[in-house]
Amino acid sequence: QKEVEQNSGPLSVPEGAIASLNCTYSDRGSQSFFWYRQYSGKSPELIMFIYSNGDKEDGRFTAQLNKASQYVSLLIRDSQPSDSATYLCAARSGSARQLTFGSGTQLTVLP
């Protein structure tokens, strides 16, 4: 069974700090990885996706992928209280149309 694992948290960081969210996956056929943010009571929204080993930056967000270690991470620089949410990691194998989601990490940014 394909699995995506995340530390459920909660993770608390002070405002302005770097928040680091981690995700591991079991299916070596996974090729695409996604980070979603979900505010309480709302639907998930895509933050960014990554295909290639290394780092991908988008504003305050950096996704990191290490396929050899089957590890994906999301760094949030200069964390803001508005970043407080649950962050979901997801993986897709090849051209499959399904995503496998982790259980999410709850992040709280303290003012």
Give the footprint of other proteins on this chain (CB under 8 A).
4, 6, 8, 32, 34, 42-46, 49, 88, 90, 92, 95, 97-104
The nearest distance, CB 14 to other proteins, in angstroms, is 26
Q: How far is the CB of 87 from other proteins (least distance, A)?
A: 11
Nearer to other proteins, 81 or 103 (CB): 103
Side by side, the strands of the sheet bearing 4-6 are 4-6, 19-25, 71-76, 61-66, 54-58
Per DSSP, the three-state class of 81 is helix
| Rounded Cα–Cα distance for residues 72 and 53 (Å) | 9
How far is residue 39 from each of residues 7, 61, 78, 106, measured CA to CA in Å? 17, 17, 19, 10
Which of 42/77 has CB closer to other proteins? 42
- Nearest approach, Cβ of residue 70 and other proteins (Å): 18
Nearer to other proteins, 68 or 98 (CB): 98
Minimal distance, residue 108 CB to other proteins, in Å:
17
- Can you tell me the distance from the alpha carbon of 93 to that of 70, in angstroms, rounded to the nearest whole number? 13
Question: Between 69 and 95, whose beta carbon lies closer to other proteins?
Answer: 95
